[in-house]
Structures are given as structure tokens and as C-alpha cells.
Structure 1
Amino acid sequence: MCKTCKAAFWLSILCTSSILLVSCASIPPIDACDLIVLDMPHGGRRIAVEPDGSGTYTYGALPAFGTFPAGTFVFEELYHDLRAVVERRPRETGEASGTVQFLTDPGSSGELFFVYDRDLLVDLLNTAFASRMEPTYEWQIEAVRRLNELWLAEAENP
């Protein structure tokens, strides 16, 4: 299975998985982490980042996905930044801006952690989208066009 298809498969699993919130002690070590998934559930934008910095972006339950190339993110930095954000969550939590998952193996749903740093989430989502690649196959073009429209609308009205 290609990396893009694997990431899309993982995202589909995550859309239907149950939510489990646990302590930071259960975040896997970086060498065991195969995928980082960021989600802004109030809008539906979601990205999955592979260790080489590439990944996929989706919107809500839309079956289409877009891709961004290797090097878009530095996986180690992303891991450490998000882990730090999760570990320093505020005492008065209020409403979370989104979630992050650190996945360790194909098909796993992993623990889900709330993220309260909205600016960081929006910046990461926008970075992925700004680096997006054109669809590879003819059958993807229309679906990705609609996906991109939804992302742009959400970015303008977060």
C-alpha cells in the first residue's frame, strides 16, 4: 500500500474510532510514532503527517483527500511541539481547539489529546494546505477541487 493510501486509510479509521483521553504518559516515544494526526473538529479540517514530513489533508467525512510533499514538516519538531502543547494544557481547560493523535502502527486509533492552542493548529493546517500538490489521477481532480473549496472556506471563516 502506498504511503498516501496508507495515510488515507488511517484517517478513515480515525473518523470512526472511539475517543479516548488519557494522560501525557501514554504519548508514544518519537521513534515509535509513525503518523501524527491533527484535527479541528469544529470545522472538519484534518491532516496526517508522515515521518518524512509528507502527508494528506481531508475535510469532514468527504471521501477525497489531498497530499502535501515530503519536507513540508520536520516530523521531530512537530512531534516535540505538539507534545509540549499537550503537556502544558491549561488548568481551566475551556473549549479545545482541536485534537492530536500520535499513531504507532497501521490501523491503530491511538489516544486522542485535546489541543488548546488554536493559533498553532491553524498555522499547521494552513502550512499543509499551502504546500498541497496537484492530484495525480484524473478521477481525483473534481473531488480534490471540492475538498480545496471547503478548506479555503474554513480558512476564511475559522
Structure 2
Amino acid sequence: MNELTKLSKIKAYTKSKLGADKTGHGYDHIKRVVTMAKKILESESADKLVTLAAAYLHDTIDDKLVSDPKSALAELQEFLASLEFTSAQIEEISFIITHMSFAHSLQDDDFQLPLSGQIVQDADWLDAIGAIGITRAIYYGGHHGEKSIIRQ
């Protein structure tokens, strides 16, 4: 199976998982992250397939969005195997999406993301700033019943 077909199937998988999301982690967010990752890839020598697969899939196992991240990861790994990803590629994608979150970066773990992971993390974090980032934060807070408090 060629890379374009694999990415097309990954895109459909991600849409099926996040298409109805209303927390700011929906498919619109994924598209922006993928677009930014592609832009960053223009000046970096990372594995394009692994980078874009991780960009598409990074929120499909997020504990803010799924009740059982371990099961979601196992399902995702089976899906990638069905697309003929190698074991090494599946391991790298899995490592990236389980270690790239902002919360995980605050932990004192002794690890470094591979270049593909750094690209996806940067693309994701870039989508968390500016007007879009503020809007996503409001969506997330609203979804979880947070009240806006404005003090004068």
C-alpha cells in the first residue's frame, strides 16, 4: 500500500474518531496541525509518513477525549498494522502520540521526542496560541462546564 493511500485511510479513521468533537480537539484542529506539520517538514529531514500519521492521530488516544486511552492505543496499533506499517513505524507513532502532550512535557521524564515527534508537537502547540488557541480553550472549558469569570 502506498503512502498516499495509507494517509487517506488514516485521515478517514481520524475523522471517524474526532469528527463530532466539540472540545477544540476536533477534525478542524487536526487539519491545522497536519498543515503546519507539512510546512515544518519542508525544512526538516524527518520521516514524512510517520510525521503526518502522528499529526493525524495525535488526539485519537488523548485521555481528555477517550475513556480508555490504553484500549484506544491498542485499537490504533492494530489499525496501523492493517495498513502495513512496520513494527518500528507503529512504535514510533505510538511513542510520539503518547509523549507529546503539554501535560507530559511538564513531567520530569528523561526522554526526547524523535524529530517527527518534535514536528508534530510544535504544530500542535502552534494551534494552541493566538485567536484559534483562545477559541479552542473556550470550547474545551464549555464542554466541561467551566464558567467564564470576568472580574473588574
On whether the aligned pair clears a TM of 0.5, the verdict is: no
Greater strand proportion = 1
- Bigger CA radius of gyration: 2
TM-score (norm 1): 0.28
Q: Which has the higher contact order (CA 8 A, sep 6+)?
A: 2
TM-score of the two chains, using structure 2 as the length reference: 0.29
